[in-house]
Structure 1
Amino acid sequence: MRIFQTYGLQASYKPRLRALRRGAASFDEMRAILLDDRFGAIHLLEPCLAGDPSAFLTAGNDTDLQRAWARENGLPGTARPDDILLAQIEAHRTEVFYNCDPVNFGNAFLRRLPGSVRRTIAWRAAPSEGADFLDHDIIVNNFPSLLDQYRAQGVRAELFTPGHDPEMDTYAARDERPVDLLFVGGFSRHHRGRAEALRRAATIGGGYRVVYCLDPSRLTRLAETPLGLAGPLRRHRRPAEIRSVATAPAYGRDLYAMIGQAKLVLNGAIDMAGRARGNMRMWEAMGCGAAVVSDAGDYPKGMVAGETFLDYSDEREMIAAIEQLLERDGEREAMARRAHAMISTRYSKSAQWEAFQRLCE
Structure 2
Amino acid sequence: MRLFQNSGLYPTYLARLDRLACDACSFEERLRIFLADRFGALHFLQPVLDGDAEAFFTNGDDEVLQRSWARKNGMRGKPSLESILLAQIEHHQTEVFYNLDPVRYPSSFVRKLPGCVRKTLCWRAAPSGNADLTAYGAVLGNFPSILESWRSKGCRAELFFPALDPDMLEFGHGDRPIDVLFVGGYSRHHSERAKTLEEVAKLAGTHEVAFHLDSSRLTLLAESWLGSLVPLGKHKRPSAISRIAKPPIFGKQFYELIGKSKIVLNGAIDMAGSGRGNMRCFEAMGCGALLVSDAGDYPEGMKADTTMKTYASPQHAVEVISHCLEHWPHSAGIAAQGRAQLSEIYSKSRQWRDFLGIVERQ
Q: What TM-score, normalized to structure 2?
A: 0.97
- Deviation string 1:167-222 (CA, Å, 9 cap, x unpaired) is 0111132x211111000100111112111110100112771011100001111111
For 2:297, the aligned partner's letter is D
Number of the residue aligned with 1:46 = 46
For 2:288, the aligned partner's letter is G
Number of the residue aligned with 1:21 = 21
Q: Displacement of 1:133 after TM fit?
A: 2.4
Asked if the contact 1:26–1:68 (Cα under 8 Å) also holds between the matched residues in 2, the reply is: yes
Number of the residue aligned with 2:201 = 202
Partner of 1:307, secondary structure, is coil
What is the alpha-carbon distance in structure 1 between the residues aligned to residue 208 and residue 77 of structure 2? 50
For 2:21, the aligned partner's letter is R
What is the alpha-carbon distance in structure 1 between the residues aligned to residue 306 and residue 140 of structure 2? 27
Number of the residue aligned with 2:7 = 7
2:283 is equivalent to residue 299 of structure 1: no
| Gapped regions of structure 1 (runs ≥ 5) | none
What is the alpha-carbon distance in structure 2 between the residues aligned to residue 231 and residue 65 of structure 1? 39
Partner of 1:172, secondary structure, is coil
- Deviation string 1:231-253 (CA, Å, 9 cap, x unpaired) is 32211110000001110100111
For 1:28, the aligned partner's letter is E
What is the alpha-carbon distance in structure 2 between the residues aligned to residue 206 and residue 17 of structure 1? 34
Partner of 2:181, secondary structure, is strand
What is the alpha-carbon distance in structure 2 between the residues aligned to residue 17 and residue 128 of structure 1? 26
2:90 is equivalent to residue 90 of structure 1: yes
The equivalences for 1:1-361 within 5 A come to: 1-173=1-173, 175-204=174-203, 207-229=206-228, 231-361=230-360
What is the alpha-carbon distance in structure 2 between the residues aligned to residue 27 and residue 202 of structure 1? 42
Asked if the contact 1:227–1:233 (Cα under 8 Å) also holds between the matched residues in 2, the reply is: no
What is the alpha-carbon distance in structure 2 between the residues aligned to residue 51 and residue 171 of structure 1? 23
Judge which range, 143-152 or 126-135, deviates more: 126-135
Partner of 1:200, secondary structure, is helix
Q: Displacement of 1:330 after TM fit?
A: 0.9
Q: Displacement of 1:23 after TM fit?
A: 1.0
Instruction: Give the CA RMSD over aligned residues.
Output: 1.1
What is the alpha-carbon distance in structure 1 between the residues aligned to residue 151 and residue 330 of structure 2? 42
Q: Displacement of 1:155 after TM fit?
A: 1.1
What is the alpha-carbon distance in structure 2 between the residues aligned to residue 120 and residue 150 of structure 1? 16
Q: Which runs of 4+ in 1 moved over 6 A?
A: none
What is the alpha-carbon distance in structure 1 between the residues aligned to residue 194 and residue 203 of structure 2? 15
Partner of 2:271, secondary structure, is coil
What is the alpha-carbon distance in structure 2 between the residues aligned to residue 43 and residue 172 of structure 1? 21
What is the alpha-carbon distance in structure 2 between the residues aligned to residue 39 and residue 269 of structure 1? 20
Q: Displacement of 1:329 after TM fit?
A: 1.5
Asked if the contact 1:312–1:321 (Cα under 8 Å) also holds between the matched residues in 2, the reply is: yes
For 2:227, the aligned partner's letter is G
Aligned-pair identity (%): 50
For 1:116, the aligned partner's letter is C
What is the alpha-carbon distance in structure 1 between the residues aligned to residue 137 and residue 24 of structure 2? 37
What is the alpha-carbon distance in structure 2 between the residues aligned to residue 22 and residue 226 of structure 1? 32
What is the alpha-carbon distance in structure 2 between the residues aligned to residue 85 and residue 268 of structure 1? 35
For 2:321, the aligned partner's letter is I
Q: Displacement of 1:313 after TM fit?
A: 1.2
- Deviation string 1:291-342 (CA, Å, 9 cap, x unpaired) is 0100011111111111111011112321111011111121121111111111
For 1:210, the aligned partner's letter is V
Judge which range, 220-229 or 132-141, deviates more: 220-229
For 2:305, the aligned partner's letter is G
